Chains A and B, each alone.
Chain A
């Protein structure tokens, strides 16, 4: 059984099973990401999966008598330019229909008494949201569906999301070099400080020293937006994914000036550069009297991707070095677990650090902000949910546990909509 597959059908724009209790949004410049929690049906909760989160967290359910809520964390994304689809999707969730329990949700606060989705009346739903779009589209959400966006700071969310994922999920971080994906087990107690490089439209580099302790130390405007923006102008691709696919098939030698092009095929060994090192991205587009259409879009896409990945890798390494950070995690939608992107980033870090540093990636990159926003409200909603479920006593503290066995690891395709099993329990 693969609940993820079941749920990630191409047209899954409505909730298929369970109830949505908790939703958070991360509206970036290019993509809007959703994370929401659906509570499993009773039979699923009672199934064999019930125990695994407990084991993973090492907390004895019975002895602590903690409330447990099993369900799924769902991840979904939309292109920001099609924000209306996203709105429709949220609207279609019929969030209030979840109300077997009287829900005052974590990420989605419904005014009491709102029972009928078809008649929004005067009720307003509040959803946790982050990303620049949380500001920009706030009015749109309000006007169209009376959804009020409760804005969470983007960086807070990113870091909270990354910290949560790195601390909680066993196989969250991995390296990727030469088509070899290798999970890296990170001791929770030896996680900090690290550099979090979030590659969205632009790139933010954040030094993280602990929960809620972080600082944006650097960044660059050459990011995913640059790749997609320039790529769109140069190749007529219709989507980011199409451009990425193209890049996979291209050869950057056609447009890049390599060290060998300058030094006549000999390595410029004096400065430690091999002849295939890119001396100047797009530097060959100078010397030849060719028009844009004479270049293959694949080659252009490839060159763009290498240029941008290389650059981010370099600046990240220099920044990590500057602050003495031992690990660099790359996240953000640009990566999308695209092997070639990860590979170039890894090569860049490896090259500039002379092998001393390694680029690491997160299984859930792209959803860090949304997860963080989701986490930001756990004080209210889930606690109450749990309290409602197990009336004995309200939990003082919440933990999430994700079922390791449900995390897909076999491929690099966790870039679409998905969901993973998870449990919420209070202590």
Chain B
């Protein structure tokens, strides 16, 4: 553990869920289920809960890792400086980790058992994790659902575990409460095929009505954690749909029946108001296409069952049942004064028509005063609730900002359905070292085409009970299914304390719910993909393995993009920041730890080589000119951005220094957004009035190379010279060529060789732990210098969401009175409109024509220098 050091952060996110390296079979290989020792798994403590329903088994399992080496010197000094309490992380009941959501079909319960077995999920209890015995007969797994009774013996026999049955309704409610509090965009409305995520204030959640549509329907009034009552229900539910559907059509599965409904036209089976009146019945507000009587048309005709299309019957059934549930739910919500109605259960399954029909009914009967809401993790409520019933899960105390949801590449292919590789050949020792999900993925790669057609977002055209206009043949039944990602629990994440109004804060500047906007950015990302793959492969020396992973990454990421084009809300509310983060996450999934590693290194070296000359030049200027030149320098150096297509083209034409010079020469004030004078006044004052320098500045840095070395470091140096403490805020994980918090100390150390100010500040900030004390200066006055520090921001994306930052950054922010956001990702794509409690300077060169037009009514390469005094 101690030797892993900071690298463990990379590992935790990038490695496959199951680390099979050095695995070996322990004990008798002849046994049916020999124990498999997975030594590299040992630091992961897992726990598991099950919801075994009639058709699906849902697993929720948690894995955590004791990484986060806390004994490197940087951290220690940071802790002293920033007042982070030692053992801060230990004070959390859990150390952080991941919640995984996996489904299996109940009739393939063996796959589920093997999955549990291969991941050793059944032997990783909260208390028993020290035990390496997988034959622990006392292991108890929380389970709910009817199958918890039915399959209890099977689990005992095969895995030696007892299922501890939890009450179904307790679990449902606990699961829903947890999700609604923990996941920012868990709830959404679904009208006319359009999803909209609703952010719910966790303090204003109760009371609500939870409608669980299984075989039957339960309506539960929820007043708080563990405080709920089943107030109503109906026997007309999913079982009725499937049961009647089976009798009336020859469908062999629920999904088949559901899929049929999309091609249906219920006019052939339902009696509409128009069938009775020949026209609308305006007196009571019923239009001709309102259903007067479900299946009433069949009474008027002497047709045999076989003469009706199964599609029509299915749609008619679906509407009848959905509408009825919506109506009864609304009446109950009204009766008990509940402001929100959440619908869940297997009947919905993310099926657009079903949700539309329920929404329509609620809207119709409430005359628009109530809305039906759905949950993204709806299928997992029970399993999650069972998980919550463990006494020591510690999840209760976590806050919404401590969760980050990430979408593994399996998601677009499985449509959020069955996930998890079959692992039956684990018994064969020979294959042990080769198996990983990646192999499976690559083997299957050739079969995979884009999972969904690239069409505009599917509108069902279903105004509840109006006849669908589009027959929806392009919409697969699971096309609108929402994917469920892996929920990363990071207890160290906090809300950035300097946000003026965290509740109103929205990181994304660009709203991707505008379809043309989404299309544009998806296209940009697609076009950029080949170059990114080149870089990624090159970063690992262009080996065959890296090429294969590169291909796989390209395919997976393209699939994500295609999925999003089809269903923008598939992964929750989508902003540009999420999109960019997904790309990085996807790279990491394919074990490209740092695709731009070599490029970053090369550029850093090239820039450091000219840093000395630049500093000399700066020092020859008077204070006022120097400040302007420094800001110009930051803006000019921001051109080095591998995330910008235009800039990538530039790279191919000149050297770094040439481009930098050219860029600087172009700096003509006024910039497109130019608050420099206001900033200068705050810094230098006017006339004789000299303002107090800032106490501490947080510099959110962007790219490696010239950007950090020739842009931000000189600016940091100027602040230090003025007596302002400087904290460089870098990414926790690599994203494009952004400089990371891991890399910053080395860069600073190198720069410090050229500059005394930087050196002393870096020493003071604990960044030069290995550097020899400079004996030349050692004799001089040992004035304690203001510190230059480095903290990580908690992100792995080119953008930053200030609702979820690292605890170090949050701690560093407490005494900060100036923040400088640099680069498009952090100051334009996100946070352009963010308001802070301290002075804020946002600096960026706009390297995208569309963004320039949209945000600043300007052109590509325009500059933004936005200064906002403390709010």
Contacts and interface: CB of A to CB of B under 8 A. Distances in A.
Given A271-B169, A279-B235, A307-B235, A202 B243 contact: no
B215 A257 contact: yes
Given A280-B237, A285-B244, A311-B236, A270 B167 contact: yes
Contact of A318 (B242, B275, B332): B332
B324 A30 contact: no
Given A311-B234, A318-B328, A286 B246 contact: yes
**Secondary structure type dominating chain B contacts:** helix
Contacts of B297: 229
A234 interface: yes
A229 B277 contact: no
Contacts of B279: 135
Contacts of B327: 218, 220, 315
A256 interface: yes
A286 B320 contact: no
A29 B246 contact: no
B14 interface: no
Given A279-B235, A286-B242, A234 B215 contact: no
B437 interface: no
Interface centre among B149, B242, B295, B320 (most CB of A within 10 A): B295
A155 interface: yes
Nearest to B229: A271
B242 A132 contact: no
A284 interface: yes
Interface in B495-543: none
A24 interface: no
Interface in B213-246: 214-216, 218, 230, 232, 234-240, 242-244, 246
Interface stretch (B193-201, B286-294, B378-386, B439-447): B286-294
A153 B283 CA distance: 9
B772 interface: no
Contacts of A284: 239, 243
Contact of A280 (B243, B278, B292, B332): B243
Contacts of B292: 29, 132, 201-202, 221, 225
A282 B295 contact: no
Nearest to A271: B230
Given A270-B167, A280-B216, A315-B328, A225 B294 contact: yes
A221 B300 contact: no
A229 B243 contact: no
Nearest to B220: A271
A98 to B, nearest CB: 32
Interface in A246-298: 255-257, 262, 264, 270-272, 277-287, 292, 295
A292 B365 contact: no
Which of A80, A216, A223, A285 has most B Cβ within 10 Å?
Answer: A285
B765 to A, nearest CB: 60
Nearest to A279: B216
A262 B239 CA distance: 12
B269 A229 contact: yes
Interface string B260-279: 00000000011101011111
B298 A230 contact: yes
B669 interface: no
A229 B215 CA distance: 23
Contact of B247 (A135, A234, A240, A280): A234
B328 A30 contact: no
Contact of B235 (A155, A201, A216, A278): A278
A390 interface: no
Contacts of B235: 256, 277-281, 283, 307, 310-311
A225 B295 contact: yes
Contact of B299 (A228, A234, A256): A228
A1 interface: no
A278 B279 CA distance: 38
B243 A29 contact: no
Interface in B312-355: 313, 320, 323-324, 327-328, 331-332, 334-335
A226 B296 contact: yes
Contacts of A255: 243
Greatest chain B CB density within 10 A among A30, A221, A283 is at A221
A3 B169 CA distance: 60
B308 A233 contact: yes
A232 B298 contact: yes
Given A202-B292, A279-B216, A229 B298 contact: yes
B215 A279 contact: yes
A222 B216 contact: no
A356 to B, nearest CB: 13
A300 B295 contact: no
A242 to B, nearest CB: 13
B398 interface: no
A321 B335 contact: yes
Nearest to A136: B278
B349 to A, nearest CB: 15
Contacts of A164: none
Given A202-B293, A226-B294, A233-B308, A221 B270 contact: yes
A315 B335 CA distance: 12
A322 interface: yes
A285 B214 CA distance: 15
Contacts of B230: 271-272
Contacts of B450: none
A406 interface: no
A295 B247 contact: yes
Contact of A282 (B149, B167, B169, B243): B243
Contacts of A318: 328, 331-332, 335
By Cβ-Cβ distance, the 8 closest A-B pairs, closest first, are A225-B296, A132-B276, A283-B239, A225-B293, A282-B243, A280-B239, A229-B295, A285-B243
Interface of B: 54, 146, 149, 167, 169, 214-216, 218, 230, 232, 234-240, 242-244, 246-248, 269-271, 273, 275-279, 283-284, 291-300, 302, 305, 308, 313, 320, 323-324, 327-328, 331-332, 334-335, 365, 465
Interface of A: 28-30, 80-81, 131-133, 135-136, 153, 155, 200-202, 204, 216, 218, 220-226, 228-230, 232-234, 240, 255-257, 262, 264, 270-272, 277-287, 292, 295, 300, 307, 310-311, 314-315, 318-319, 321-322, 352
Given A132-B277, A202-B292, A283-B216, 15 more contacts: A28-B276, A131-B276, A201-B296, A221-B270, A221-B320, A225-B294, A229-B294, A233-B308, A255-B243, A257-B215, A281-B243, A283-B243, A285-B242, A318-B328, A318-B332
29 contacts: A29-B275, A29-B300, A132-B276, A135-B279, A136-B276, A136-B277, A155-B284, A201-B292, A201-B299, A216-B284, A222-B294, A225-B292, A229-B295, A230-B248, A233-B313, A234-B248, A234-B305, A278-B235, A283-B215, A283-B239, A283-B242, A286-B215, A286-B239, A286-B243, A286-B246, A314-B234, A314-B328, A318-B332, A322-B331
